[in-house]
Amino acid sequence: MFIYFAFLAVVVLIGIPMCRNKTGKAVYCSIAGIALFVFAAIRKYTGFDYNLYAQIYVDYLSMDLEKIGVHRFEKGIAMPMKLFGNVMYYDYQWMFVGYAFIFALVLMIILYRTSDKPYLGVFFYFTFGVYFVSLDFMRQMVAAFVVILGMRYIKTNQFFRYLLVVIFASCFHLSALVMIPFYFILKIKLTPVTLGLYTGAGILIFIFSWPVIQFLTEHFLPKYYHAGEAVGHELSGGRWPLYTIFYGVFFVLAFLFRKRLEKKDPMNHVWLNCMFFTFYFDLISLKHNIVGRLAIPFIIVASAILMPRVVECFIEWCGEKFRNSRKKKIIVSTASLFVVTAACLGMYGYMIGTNFNGINPYQTIYDDTPWVNPQEVWEKSDK
Q: What is the pLDDT of residues 205-243, one digit of tens each?
A: 777 776 766 665 664 555 554 454 444 445 555 677 899
71-99 per-position pLDDT tens digit: 667 778 878 877 777 766 678 888 899 99
Phi, psi for 364 (deg, rounded to 5): -125, 170
Is the pLDDT at 337 greater than 80, yes or no? yes
Give how many domains the chain has, as a whole number. Answer: 1
- Spatial distance between the Cα atoms of 205 and 267, rounded to a whole number of angstroms: 28
- Spatial distance between the Cα atoms of 347 and 3, rounded to a whole number of angstroms: 16
Structural domain of 193: 2-381
Tell me, what's the pLDDT at 380? 46
The three-state DSSP-derived secondary structure of 132-145 is: HHHCCCHHHHHHHH
Give how far Cα 67 sits from Cα of 49, 59, 61, 63, 291, Å: 22, 11, 11, 6, 30
| Burial class of residue 206 in the structure, from the number of CB atoms within 10 Å of its CB (0-12 exposed, 13-18 middle, 19+ buried) | middle
Q: Dihedral sign, CA of 33, 83, 359, 355?
A: positive
- Spatial distance between the Cα atoms of 263 and 261, rounded to a whole number of angstroms: 5
4 touches 352 (CB < 8 A):
yes
| Distance in Å from the first CA to the final CA of the chain | 44
Mean pLDDT of the chain: 85
In three-state secondary structure terms, 286 is: coil
Is the peptide bond prior to 370 cis by the omega test (within 30 degrees of 0)?
no
